[in-house]
Amino acid sequence: MSDPFMQAAIEQAELGLAEGGIPIGSVLVIDGKIVGRGHNQRVQKGSCTLHAEMDCLENAGRLQAADYRRAVLYSTLSPCDMCSGTVLLYGIPKVVIGENQTFQGPEAYLQSRGVELVNLQDERCKSLMQQFIAARPALWFEDIGE
Amino acid sequence: MSDPFMQAAIEQAELGLAEGGIPIGSVLVIDGKIVGRGHNQRVQKGSCTLHAEMDCLENAGRLQAADYRRAVLYSTLSPCDMCSGTVLLYGIPKVVIGENQTFQGPEAYLQSRGVELVNLQDERCKSLMQQFIAARPALWFEDIGE
């Protein structure tokens, strides 16, 4: 049985794909409840900053430090330097990722700064990204600055 | 004589202050021209992700990797973990800051990843932040996740 929060992040990724976007999704969980959901908005909003995790945090709104510090950020993909930096800025103590085979962010650095990282190695997350990268490599490379 | 790009970043910070926001500004420069300007949007847009540097990059739009790799990011204040991570994501090779006395981001980490960092130690930048932090400490702490 899959993790219900990762399932919600995957639904965000699939929503993004259906919109013609990059299939990465994220949810923010506090005290066992989803307080924000988001997906990559590069195509949909012409955004270079709204990766899935950023869109999720933005949608969660202005929270207090004490809120972030008991939060868990779920993402279908290993967070990049930008999204990892945002986890550090707000002191989010735990990140759960779907996979890190199609892309791996600075996981060791996050861990060295005290963040707990869990990799669910989810096959649906991998499949979404593998198919997307094969279909639209230029868009994917733009999203990761390559 | 002050740096004209830092002057443009300070104008953004002052614009943000006039809007009731946090007085931090940023510009992105490519080939000697400003291609994006921005300022902190926490108050104005209820945003937890649009720090000045992020707003600037967002306003610059979707650029190619080759564009970022000859860009210089100017900010009136030392970039936080989020904004520093974004510099790393896009491979921006140089960051010019107004000051780092009122707040210091992960400058050594940025440098360890190959980013050139220049601190102009600008008195107007310091003064803007000192006055703001004294006047609205809760808003400031919210912005840096404390």
Query: What pLDDT, in 10s, does the model give residues B34-82?
Result: 999 999 999 999 999 999 999 999 999 999 999 999 999 999 999 999 9
Q: Tell me, what's the pLDDT at B94?
A: 98
Q: Examine the residue annotation and report whether A53 is marked as an active-site residue of this protein.
A: yes
Torsion of CA B47, B52, B55, B56, to 10 degrees: 180
Neighbours of B91 (CB within 10 A): 18
Q: Based on the number of CB atoms within 10 Å of its own CB, is A20 exposed (0-12), middle (13-18) or buried (19 or more)? A: exposed
Q: Are the Cβ atoms of A61 and B46 closer than 8 angstroms?
A: yes
Tokens of B94: 């140089």
Task: Provide the mean pLDDT of chain B.
Answer: 97
Sheet strands side by side (includes A116-119)? A33-39, A25-30, A71-75, A94-97, A116-119
Q: Are the Cβ atoms of B84 and A83 closer than 8 angstroms?
A: no
**ipTM of this predicted structure:** 0.97
Hey, is B76 helix, strand or coil?
Answer: coil
- Show the beta-strand stretches assigned E in chain B: 25-30, 33-39, 71-75, 94-97, 116-119
| DSSP one-letter string for B81-109 | HHHHHHHHHHT--EEEES-SSS---SHHH
CA–CA dist A85, A91 (Å, integer): 10
Q: Tell me, what's the pLDDT at A60?
A: 98
Classify the phi-psi angles of A61: left when phi > 0, otherwise alpha if psi is within -120 to 50, otherwise beta. left
Select from B24, B40, B49 the residue whose CB has the most chain A CBs within 10 Å, as the one to mutate to test that interface: B49
Q: Mind listing the pLDDT tens digit for each residue in A45-89?
A: 999 999 999 999 999 999 999 999 999 999 999 999 999 999 999
Select from A51, A84, A88, A104 the residue whose CB has the most chain B CBs within 10 Å, as the one to mutate to test that interface: A88
Residue A41 has pLDDT above 80, yes or no: yes
Q: DSSP letter at B37?
A: E
Does A144 reach chain B within 8 Å, measured CB to CB? Answer: yes
Q: Are the Cβ atoms of B88 and A81 closer than 8 angstroms?
A: yes
CB B49 within 8 A of CB A58: yes
What's the predicted TM-score (pTM) here? Answer: 0.98
Residue A1 has pLDDT above 60, yes or no: no
Annotated catalytic residue: which of A11, A14, A19, A53? A53
Q: Mind listing the pLDDT tens digit for each residue in A84-124?
A: 999 999 999 999 999 999 999 999 999 999 999 999 999 99
**B63 closest CA partner among B44, B91, B82:** B91
Neighbours of A6 (CB within 10 A): 22
Q: How much is the average pLDDT of B89-106? A: 98
